[in-house]
Amino acid sequence: MLTIKEAKKGVDEKEFSVSELVSHFRSRMEERKDINAIISSFDDSSSGKGELYGAVLVVKDNILVKGEKCTAASQMLESYEAPFSATVVNKLKEKGAVIIGKANMDEFAMGSSTETSFFGPTKNPLSPYLVPGGSSGGSAAAVMGGMCNAALGSDTGGSIRQPASFCGLVGMKPTYGAVSRNGLIAMSSSFDQIGPLTRNVEDAEMVFNAIYGKDEHDSTTVDFPLLKERGSRIGVPKEYFTDGMDKGVREVIDKAISKIESEVVEISLPNTEYALPAYYIIMASEVSSNMARFDGLRYGSCSRSRDILESYINSRGDYLGSEVKRRIILGTYSLSSGYYDAYYLQAQKVRNIISRDFEKAFQEVDFILTPTTPVLPFAIGERIDDPVSMYLADVFTVTANLAGLPAISLPCGERDGLSVGAQLIAPRFYERSLFREAEKLERLWKD
Amino acid sequence: MLNDIEKTVTLSRVKAKDEVRDVSRILSYVEKLKSVDTSQTEPLFHFPETSNSVREDAYKHTSPQVRKMMTCMREEEGEFLRVSSILC
């Protein structure tokens, strides 16, 4: 189970070649077909040079790779072939990486367990009855299952960090605007970010370094500013330690925090309880807009009908899954005349209030530390019929998306053979400091 | 509320049945947002570092990938693409 750094060393020192690595990982995909982590796999060759020469990745199947199918795990795009590659894919390849597969995910990235995929659920490599988390569950399972040495996921409300926590990996969501979304099938455009899932923090930083940067094809990207390092004062928000948390998770997190040598203080993020409802309204509103393009005409599957209106209704009804439909309907409702002010506008104002809570907290502390998720990985089928209970798995991760902050999840301990993740959050564009501090915590928690 | 959600289903242009009841439950969960005093707050639509990105208003030839994307449309008649009847 090689890290990127180990693979790079092996390739540089001619112990093995990239094509041998690719063969090895593709055999591994065959062996572990039971996990159902991969939707499609293909060969790839390296440019032969660069910081990621030796890196073999899979990317979530909502990230376009030219010439390969890109399904977003939906029947709607079952046969869609990507006409161009995402900016992040081009950047990875320029740096010597190879991409050998498209990872399973919740349909259109809507879910927290990789159970809404048209291609069936992905299983957690740590235990086949449990979910790997979502929506980047396939990406996480592929790395943990030894099918690649790193993966790209996308994170809208926790979809990189939560599966990282459930699968014992490092998962990182960059600052909103740090990484281009060109070539990412849009879910919620003011929240989505692409980021790495890796075996350690060092690898996550290597992947981030390859993919970040201003892109003329994504006007929400910015020139990454050079900022000085932050100190090591860590704030633990009391609102993230509620009664609803799993006792086992709570004990592991408390123990991990007690080991931290630098200063740890209790802080308050007073509007935390409004984060999940605000997130769901804004996210669903943006989803309803982004999903309008799937009309059965331009691309994707189509249900032929006598007129265009029926064609839209039937195509979208037949080829989109229930969770996608729920969010489209919720979003359309929130944006409709008579409800826009009470739902969408109100949610965006609450978003501002939550963002300001973080700004205030970051004046007192350098980083904020929380559990990544309040629960251990749950059983496949346990929450799928209760949408609100599923949404609660994201309660600690959505705040970083609302405020556009960089956040990383890393393993901090184990309970009953399952990994527990802790989340570290920094102010916008403080990725360098975030990685430094995360590496320190990783060393501390390794035992 | 259920009536309004059903009207929304029509607006959403998506055939749905069981999802209506679920959406009603989700709306009940998010009701608590209304209790937050936002009278002195602006909405956060964009992050401060984002600025408008513009280019010259000049014609660029259609890239080959646009033609490729359009081949997903099922029926062509010369330069035109056939769709279902628009008048219902």
pLDDT tens digits for A403-441?
999 999 999 999 999 999 999 999 999 999 999 999 999
CA pair distance A53, B77, nearest whole angstrom = 48
Burial class (CB within 10 angstroms; exposed 0-12, middle 13-18, buried 19+) of A427 = buried
From the list A180, A40, A38, A62, the residue with the least C-alpha distance to A122 is A38
Which of A167-171, A306-310, B56-60: highest mean pLDDT? A167-171
Please state whether the predicted TM-score (pTM) of the whole model is above 0.90. yes
Higher pLDDT, B73 or B16: B16
Return the pLDDT at A386: 81
B3-58 confidence digits (pLDDT tens)? 889 899 999 999 998 899 999 999 999 999 999 999 999 999 989 888 888 888 99
**Which uninterrupted H or E stretch holds A5?**
helix A4-12
H-assigned helices in chain B: 2-12, 18-30, 64-70
DSSP calls for A389-409: HHHGGGTTTHHHHHTT--EEE
Inform me whether the C-beta atom of residue B61 falls under 8 Å from chain A C-beta atoms.
Answer: no
Pick the residue from chain B with its C-alpha nearest to A402.
B44
A180-204 confidence digits (pLDDT tens)? 999 999 999 999 999 999 999 999 9
**Does the residue A199 lie in any domain?**
yes
CB contact (8 A) between residue B84 and residue A330: no
Return the pLDDT at B65: 67
Residues of chain A numbered 93-152 and touching chain B (CB < 8 Å): none
Q: Which two tokens stand for residue A180?
A: 């281009």
Inform me whether the C-beta atom of residue B76 falls under 8 Å from chain A C-beta atoms.
Answer: no
Check if the beta carbon of residue A54 is closer than 8 Å to that of residue A15: no
The whole-number average pLDDT for the span A25-33 is 97
Return the pLDDT at A145: 97
A72-100 confidence digits (pLDDT tens)? 999 999 989 998 999 999 999 999 999 99
Considering only CA atoms, give the Rg of chain B. 22
User: How many angstroms away from the CA of B83 is the closest CA of chain A?
Assistant: 7
CB contact (8 A) between residue B30 and residue A329: no
Residue A432 three-state SS: helix
Inform me whether the C-beta atom of residue B42 falls under 8 Å from chain A C-beta atoms.
Answer: yes
**Does the residue A392 lie in any domain?**
no
- ipTM > 0.85, yes or no: yes
**Does the residue A388 lie in any domain?**
no
Report the CATH number that the domain containing residue A199 is assigned in CATH: 3.90.1300.10
**Does the residue A387 lie in any domain?**
no
CA pair distance A346, A90, nearest whole angstrom = 39
Q: Which two tokens stand for residue A265?
A: 């203080």
Distances in Å between the alpha carbon of A77 and those of A9, A22, A124, A444, B52? 39, 27, 25, 44, 31
Kindly report which listed range (A248-252, A346-350, A443-447) carries the lowest average pLDDT score. Answer: A443-447
Q: Which of B4, B26, B60 to mutate to test the interface with A (most CBs of A within 10 A)?
A: B26
Inform me whether the C-beta atom of residue A333 falls under 8 Å from chain B C-beta atoms.
Answer: yes
Inform me whether the C-beta atom of residue A295 falls under 8 Å from chain B C-beta atoms.
Answer: yes
First to last CA, chain B: 29
Q: Contacts of residue A404 in chain B, CB cutoff 8 Å?
A: 47
Return the pLDDT at A291: 97
Catalytic residue ranges of A: 60, 135, 159
Q: Which two tokens stand for residue A89?
A: 């894919």
Return the pLDDT at A47: 86
CA pair distance A390, A378, nearest whole angstrom = 10
Return the pLDDT at B70: 62
**DSSP strand E in A61-184: where?**
98-103, 150-155, 170-173
Kindly report which listed range (A113-122, A392-401, B74-83) carries the lowest average pLDDT score. Answer: B74-83
CB contact (8 A) between residue A353 and residue B83: no
pLDDT at A113 over 70: yes
Q: Which two tokens stand for residue A201?
A: 């923090």
Inform me whether the C-beta atom of residue B80 falls under 8 Å from chain A C-beta atoms.
Answer: no
List beta partners, residue A218: A215
CB contact (8 A) between residue B84 and residue A274: no
From the list A282, A278, A286, the residue with the least C-alpha distance to A108 is A286
**Does the residue A341 lie in any domain?**
no
User: How many angstroms away from the CA of A97 is the closest CA of chain B?
Assistant: 24
A360-396 confidence digits (pLDDT tens)? 999 999 999 999 999 999 999 998 888 777 788 788 9
pLDDT at A319 over 70: yes
The DSSP 8-state label assigned to residue A163 in this structure reads H
> Which range of residues forms the domain containing residue A116?
4-225
Burial class (CB within 10 angstroms; exposed 0-12, middle 13-18, buried 19+) of A161 = buried
**Does the residue A401 lie in any domain?**
no
User: Hey, what amino acid is at A409?
Assistant: S
Residues 6+ away with beta carbon under 8 Å from A300:
A76, A77, A80, A294, A315, A319, B72
pLDDT at B88 over 70: no
**Does the residue A338 lie in any domain?**
no
CB contact (8 A) between residue A326 and residue B23: yes
List beta partners, residue A341: none
For chain A, give the percent of residues with pLDDT over 70: 100
User: How many angstroms away from the CA of B29 is the closest CA of chain A?
Assistant: 7
CA pair distance A425, A358, nearest whole angstrom = 10
Q: Which of B15, B80, B88 to mutate to test the interface with A (most CBs of A within 10 A)?
A: B15
Return the pLDDT at A311: 87
Mean pLDDT of all residues in chain A? 95
CB contact (8 A) between residue A328 and residue B14: yes
Residues of chain A numbered 211-270 and touching chain B (CB < 8 Å): 216, 219-220, 222
pLDDT at B74 over 70: no
Residues of chain A numbered 360-419 and touching chain B (CB < 8 Å): 387-388, 391, 404
CB contact (8 A) between residue B26 and residue A280: yes
Return the pLDDT at B64: 67
Higher pLDDT, B82 or A372: A372
Return the pLDDT at B78: 78
pLDDT at A114 over 70: yes
DSSP calls for A267-333: E--TTGGGHHHHHHHHHHHHHHHHGGG-SSSSSS-----SBHHHHHHHHHHHHS-HHHHHHHHHHHH
Kindly report which listed range (A84-93, A131-140, B63-72) carries the lowest average pLDDT score. Answer: B63-72
User: How many angstroms away from the CA of B77 is the closest CA of chain A?
Assistant: 15
User: How many angstroms away from the CA of A172 is the closest CA of chain B?
Assistant: 20
Please tell me the total count of domains within chain A. Answer: 1
Return the pLDDT at A304: 75
Q: Which of A328, A335, A357 to mutate to test the interface with B (most CBs of B within 10 A)?
A: A328
